[in-house]
Amino acid sequence: MKVNLPRLLEDHPKELHDEDAFGMPERTMSASTLRVIATRELFYTERGGTALKRFHVRISEPYLLTEELSDIPFCEGAASCVINFDLLPEADHVVTGVDTFQALELAVSSAEKHLQRLRRKYDFYFEPGVPYFDK
């Protein structure tokens, strides 16, 4: 799948576009930035290592898909969110839903599932000495 990942910014001003059926503004991705709407600070060590490092799980605001952003078929109103593991040497992920609500819902659950898979490489902590996952 072709994905043009935007850079995530925490304080990027929203650009408003068309209104939806309820008169609420819809956001389409413009330029190369998206606003971060959820962040979780965690710590990690590499498996077998002792150096504790801080990182952030960040989720972007949902953005409406356009032809330029995807090479897969999608319905009108489909949206995506970017999951970013800032300061953790892992790639960003894009999660897509049928609308902005589902995209956000899937991004939150996918971030947690991805951390579960990464347990093969890392140990995660809420804070030093407090494991993120139960053993």
> Looking at the whole model, is its pTM more than 0.75?
no
25 pLDDT higher than 60: no
27 pLDDT higher than 70: no
pLDDT band at 4 (very low <50, low <70, confident <90, very high): very low
Q: What is the pLDDT of residue 73?
A: 76
- Three-state DSSP state, 116: helix
Share of the chain above pLDDT 70, in %: 76
- For residues 85 and 93, what is the distance between their CA atoms, to the nearest angstrom? 9
Nearest Cα neighbor of 6 from 27, 26, 31, 25 is 31
Please return the burial class of 26, using the count of CB atoms within 10 Å of its CB with bins 0-12, 13-18 and 19+.
Answer: middle
H helix or E strand, kind and range, residue 118: helix 100-118
Q: What is the pLDDT of residue 135?
A: 72
Q: Look up residue 134 and give its two tokens.
A: 């139960």
Q: Look up residue 35 and give its two tokens.
A: 């606003």
Q: Average pLDDT of 22-45? A: 70
6 pLDDT higher than 60: no
Nearest Cα neighbor of 84 from 12, 3, 7, 1 is 7
